[in-house]
Structures are given as structure tokens and as C-alpha cells.
Structure 1
Amino acid sequence: MKKYLFKIKYIVLGTFVSLTACVSDDLANVGDLEDITGPTPFYNVTDVTRSEFDCNDVELWADYDFNFLAGSNLAVNGTDYQWSITPSDGVDLINKNLPILEQLIEAELATVVAIEKEIAKLEFKIPCETDPARVIVLQAQIVDLENQLVIAEEALTDETLENVSNLENQISVLEPATLQDREIIFSFPNPGEYTVGLTVTDNLGKLNYTEKIITVNQAVPTIPVPEISEPSFEDNSLFDGTGDGRDSWKTPSNDAWSPFGAGTTVIQINTDSNPIDAPNLPDGTQAAKFPGGGERVAYQEIEVTPGAEYVLTYFTAFEEDNFGEMKVSILKPSTSTYAEAQLEENIVASRTDSNVGRVDNVFKKHAITFEAGDNESVIIFASNSGVETRLDAFDIVVKE
């Protein structure tokens, strides 16, 4: 038995030596095995589409641009890239460096560009603004910004102007993009489906191909963020620089919206005159104050986009001498009385917070998520009970 094991040991050893010799550069006429690994192509794609719509959601223009970056599994061998696209009619090729250079120019002219964008925003709003007083204010703001623009342009240094000129020259001499570029921007003429293929060839002439179906979706208008007037109950925070912090939060009718059927419902204002020494307000120096009797309410109707989803945030603070609550509701615009505001059929969403576990007069942030549904507007409605309560810093965003 030992004799057979001995023979097997030498057979294995001989085989190992033989295999080692096959890859030894010291042996005559024997070299490394041929590299038969071909490239495995892949690519990443990023949608960089831009568009603009007017205030009636009519498309003004759209650039259906997609950035493509090719790659392969080969870390050492040189590679060549060849893109293909079907259908190709109307598809433009953009050098990947063009948007980079354009952004660098904007960075050099940051102040000028920021003012120009603000002017464009205001000019965008005016055609669809129905309130003449707001139009006058917007026009005055544009005149002021145009004056600021002149000053900003005159303040540009020679160094900045030279940098911009150099960047513009770089743009003027950019090589046209080709289907052989590793990174490229395709500008599609229209929404639809396009087959984008990529062939990668290594330095040994081996190649492989991959493709994807790229879906270019129709551009849609950005959902505007609703405007909440006097969101932090600050003086002079209305669009025209006026207001006492409460003007936007008054009910259409005291009697109809009073929890008790009569009497004033106008909220009170709590002022923190020295926020540096007592920084307990979430924003500014004023907050809405609701007496413990529950007779005051806050009411504001805001415009929303049907079908959109929103997140409303705000802060509350309570006295601690008794149990107290604050209820904030999102109501359908057809709600016309306090009694109707209590009916589930009229409540889009609501949240009730109490002073249990709270610290006296310390503000805490809350959030309500709601869907606009078919509504073009909703009512923000707030009421309290039990103890003196404060409300501050409303904000709203479109939920992504």
C-alpha cells in the first residue's frame, strides 16, 4: 500500500512541475497563454432634460437631453467606443464639456445671473396675475432689480471679464461631438422610445455590443409651491410690504367660523422683542397666540395643483397649567362654517397635538401630508382648546 501512495505522490508532483513549466518565461518556445477575454460593454445614462411652461402650463420649449457614459470591464487594454441610435432622425450630438463650460461662466457671473433669474421669475408671473395690486408690486420689483443688474454688471472686474472671455473661447473651439466619444449628450427631438447601442472594441480587435431601450418622457410642468401669506405672522410680510401678521389669517365671517357662534375669531400676536436673548420662536419675532378659551381661529385659503401631494409643516407651543390641544386641518374649499369644518367629509387631512409631555412654551415642529385631489385650493384652519397655545412658521413643499 505504501508503494502505491509513493507512486501517486510523484505523479502529482510531476504534473505540478509540468503545469508550472507551461507559464515559465525561462523555457524555450513557451510563453503566456493568449488573452482571449473580450470586452464587456456597458453604459450609464442620466436624464438632463430641461423645459419651460407658461403660467397656463403651455410648453414654451423643451430640451430632451440625456448624458451617456460608456464603460467596459477592461482596466488595462485600450478601448474604442461606437454608439448607435435608432431612430436617429433629428437626434443631435452635444459635446459633454459644453454644459460644464456654461456653468463655469455662470459661476463667474454669479451675482448678475442671480438677478437675471429673479427678473425672469417676476416677468413669468405677471401675465397670469389677476390682482392689479400685485401686478404693480411685481413691476416695481422688476424695475428695482433692473437697477441692481446695471450696478452688478458695472462692478464686474477685468479679471472676471477675462475669465468669461476665455471660457467663451473654449466653447467656440470645442470639437463637435461624435459617436466615438466615450461620454456624449444625445439631444432627442421628441418624446418616444429610442434604441441606444454601444460597441466596445479592445486593442486586440475583440469587440462586443450592448443596447438599451431609452424612454424619453414628455416634459411636464413643475408643480408650483403654494404661497402661504404671512406664514410666520410677522409684521410687514405681505407681498407689498404691509400687514400686521394676521391679515391673511382672518375668517370670511366671524359668526360663521366662531367655535361659539359669535364674537371675534381674529388671532392674537405674541411678540419676542429680544430673540437674541430669548430665541424661543422658530422664525422671526412674532407668533400667533390662541387664548385658552378656544374662541380664536386661523383661516387661510391657498391655491394647490389638482392631483399633487404636499407636506405642510408648522410649530406649536403650549402653556402647561391645564390639558390643551391644537388642531390644524386642511379643508375642502367648499367648507363655509366652523361646524362644517368638523365634518369628516370636509376634512382633507388634519393633525391634533396636545401639551402632554411638552415643555412650557417650547416650540415643536409638526407635519401634515395631504393630496389635493380635485381641489384647486384648500383651507388651512387652526383652532385650540384648554390652554393658551402658540402657532408659528408655516411652510409647504411639494412631496416628491
Structure 2
Amino acid sequence: MKKHIKNLKYIVLVMLISLTSCLDDSLPNIGDLPDFTNPTPFYNVEDVSTSEFDCNDVEISANYDFNFQAGSNLAVNGTQYQWSVSPSEGVTFINKDLPILEQGIRGELATVVALEDAIAKLEFKLPCEPNPAKVDVLEAQIAGLKVDLQAANDNLSETTLQNVANLEAQIAALPAASLQNRELIFSFPKPDVYTVSLTVTDDLGKSETTEKLITVNQAVPTIPVPEIGEASFEDGSLFDGSGDGRDSWRSPSSSRWGSVFQINTDSNGRGEGNDLPHGVQAAKFPADGTRTGYQEIALTPGATYVLTYFTTFDGLNTFGDLTVSIVSTNANSLDEARLAANTIASRTDNNVGRVDNVFKKHALTFEAGTNESAIILITNTGVESRIDAFEIIVKQ
């Protein structure tokens, strides 16, 4: 019996040694099985195009740039990358590090860049501004900013200038982008549909290819955000520093549209105990509903907008509401503005469940349709109501 047990132990020991040998890559002709798996390539692409249009929506420039980044499955080490594009005529390539270094320079010159951007925005408005008074104000603002810009340039430290020089030297030394780079930027010459393929070759010489259709769309002008005059009803907030907080909200005729609203002022601003969403003034509508707010704004046909604002009510024992409507300019009176045919969008909020004198934010989404302009109309009933801090954005 003892002999059989010894023989069994010997057999188990031999089996363990054999199994261990199979895992030892140093033994000749013994080891892992050859890897017959081809790489699985893929790539990510990001549209980083830029364009510039004048105030008449005429294209000044357009750069159709797309950032491509290659990859492969984790089980295979992709060591070589080869891109191709069709049609290839006019396609150029940009080193992926160039935008990063350029952004670094902007960061070093943050104050200078901010002033340059502010000047560019004002200069952009000048050619299409029909109001001579606004042109004078814009030109004065530009002149003042140019003085500030010169001072900012003069005050740049030696350290900042050296950092900028170092970044510029790195840009000058960047190697040209290659179709063998793992990541690079394709600069397409024009809108079109391009076939971009990627071949990945691993360290065993095995390769595989993937391709996608990349659609480059025509650059279009950015939809401008409408300007709301005295949006927070503050004194001196018009373009020339004037205004009593409601000058932009006066209707063409008080007999047809009602008298303009009153102003509620809190000299403490947003200090302790004050609930104004912005500044120190809000529009106040008495309980009798005889006051209105009327302002015409420019729209871009086909665009969708989101208008936001804050309301509050003084008194909760009596029902009261406040309505903000977007009205067609075809309306010629308050009665016509209430017709469904002239109402583009409308929102009514009331004091049910509200907290006395606490502002609440609302949003009104509307489509411009074919309208190039529309009226923001504010009305109320029942109790004293207040409204503040209008903002409008283009819904993307």
C-alpha cells in the first residue's frame, strides 16, 4: 500500500513539473501560442473648424479643420499608423500641438488678448450700425480700449515676453504633420464628403484598415443674439450711459398700448435682505393692470430663442398674474396683440403657491419663423407684480 502511495506522489510531481515547463517561455519550442489576431483599428474625429463673417453675413474666411486621433484594440500593440483621404486634392495637415502652443501664447498675453478681442467685437459692429449716435459711442469706446491696449503691451514683464518667445520657438520647431502621425489635424479645402481611412500595423507586422465618410458642411454665420435694451431696468444702462431703466420699454402710443410700467428701487442692491435678481431696480406693474412693457427686438428667421426672466408678486390673498408675450409686429394695439394670429409665444405666471416678494425664474422658448423682428410685451392683472433680469439666447 505504501509503495502505491509513493508512486502516486511521483506521478503528481512529474505532472506539476510538466505544466510548469509549458509556461516557461525560455524553454525551446515551448510557450505561448503564436498571436494570429490582427489589430482592430478605430479613430475619433472632432470638428474644430472656424469661420468669420461680416455683419452682413458675407463670409470673410473659413477653415475646415478636423482633429483625428487613431487607436486600436487593447490586445494588440499598434505601432504604425497610416492615414489616407479621398479626394485628397487641396487637403493639408497640421501638427496637433500647434493649437495647444498658440493657446499657451494667448494665456501668457491674457490681458492683451482680452482687450484685442473687445476692440475686434466693437469694430465688427461699426459698418452695419445705422444709428450715428451709437457709432459715436462705439468709436469712443474703441479709442479708449486702444489706449488700454497700448498700456497693457507696455507693461508686459520680461518673464512674460520670454515665455512667449519660448512658445514661438517651439512652434517654429514643430515638425510637419505626417500621415503616419497617430494624431493630426486635417484641413479640408472646401465642404464635401471625404473618405478617411486608417491602417494600423502592430509589432508583428499584422495590419488592418478602417474607414469613415467625413461630411464637411458649409460654414454658416453665427445667429446673433438679440439685444434687449435695459434688460434689468437699471438707470444709465443704455449704450450711451443714459436711460431711466424703462426708456427701451415705452410703446409707440400709450393710448393704444398702455402706459409704461413703474420702477421699483432697492438701494441695497443684492445685499442682505434683498431679493432682486440683478442690480438695484426692477419693473413694477400696479395691481390695476394699466401698465405695460413694450420692446421690439430683432430676430433671425428660422432661429429658436429662449427668453428668461424673474417675477415676483406683492400680496397672495388676491389672485394675480403676469404675462410675457412675444408678439408679431403686425399688431398695432394691445387688443390686436392679444389675438392668436399675432401671438408668437406667451407665458403667464401667477401668485398661487408663491412666496410673497420672492423672485422666481421662468423661461419662454419661441421660434422666429419668418419674422425678422417681434415685440416683447409685458402685462399683468390682480396684484402688484414685478419683473427683472431679462436674458435671451439662441437655442442650438
TM-score by length of 1: 0.92
The residue correspondences of 1:334-353 to structure 2 (distance < 5 A) are: 334-353=330-349
1:44-75 deviation per Cα after TM superposition (whole angstroms, max 9, x unaligned):
00000000011111110000000000000145
1: distance between equivalents of 2:348 and 2:53? 39
Aligned to 1:268: 262
The alignment of Structure 1 onto Structure 2 pairs a total of residues equal to: 380
2:260 is paired with a residue of what secondary structure? coil
1:10-29 deviation per Cα after TM superposition (whole angstroms, max 9, x unaligned):
xxx9xx98995893438663
1:215-235 deviation per Cα after TM superposition (whole angstroms, max 9, x unaligned):
000000000110000001000
- Of 87-96 and 67-76, deviating more is 67-76
Aligned to 1:198: 198
1:197–1:210 contact (8 Å) kept in structure 2: yes
The residue type paired with residue 285 of structure 1 is V
1:104-132 deviation per Cα after TM superposition (whole angstroms, max 9, x unaligned):
00000000001001111111100011111
The residue correspondences of 1:1-400 to structure 2 (distance < 5 A) are: 20=19, 23-25=22-24, 29-74=29-74, 77-258=77-258, 265-275=259-269, 276-320=271-315, 321-400=317-396
1:289-341 deviation per Cα after TM superposition (whole angstroms, max 9, x unaligned):
11100000000000010000000011111012411110110001111101001
The residue type paired with residue 139 of structure 2 is Q
- Of 60-69 and 27-36, deviating more is 27-36
Computed over aligned residues only, the root mean square deviation of the Cα atoms, in angstroms, reads: 1.7
2:129–2:135 contact (8 Å) kept in structure 1: yes
2:72–2:78 contact (8 Å) kept in structure 1: no
Displaced runs of 4 or more, over 3 A: 16-24, 26-29
2: distance between equivalents of 1:195 and 1:233? 54
The residue type paired with residue 337 of structure 1 is S
1:283–1:392 contact (8 Å) kept in structure 2: yes
1:335 is paired with a residue of what secondary structure? coil
2: distance between equivalents of 1:203 and 1:28? 22
1:199–1:209 contact (8 Å) kept in structure 2: yes
Relative to structure 1, the CA distance from residue 204 to residue 327 in structure 2 (aligned partners, 3 Å threshold; closer, same or farther) is same
Relative to structure 1, the CA distance from residue 232 to residue 207 in structure 2 (aligned partners, 3 Å threshold; closer, same or farther) is same
Structure 2 unaligned spans of 5+: 1-11
Percent identity reads 64
C-alpha displacement of 1:273:
1.1
The residue type paired with residue 264 of structure 2 is N
2:309–2:388 contact (8 Å) kept in structure 1: yes
C-alpha displacement of 1:38:
1.4
1: distance between equivalents of 2:32 and 2:192? 50
1:23–1:33 contact (8 Å) kept in structure 2: no
2: distance between equivalents of 1:175 and 1:246? 59
C-alpha displacement of 1:145:
0.4
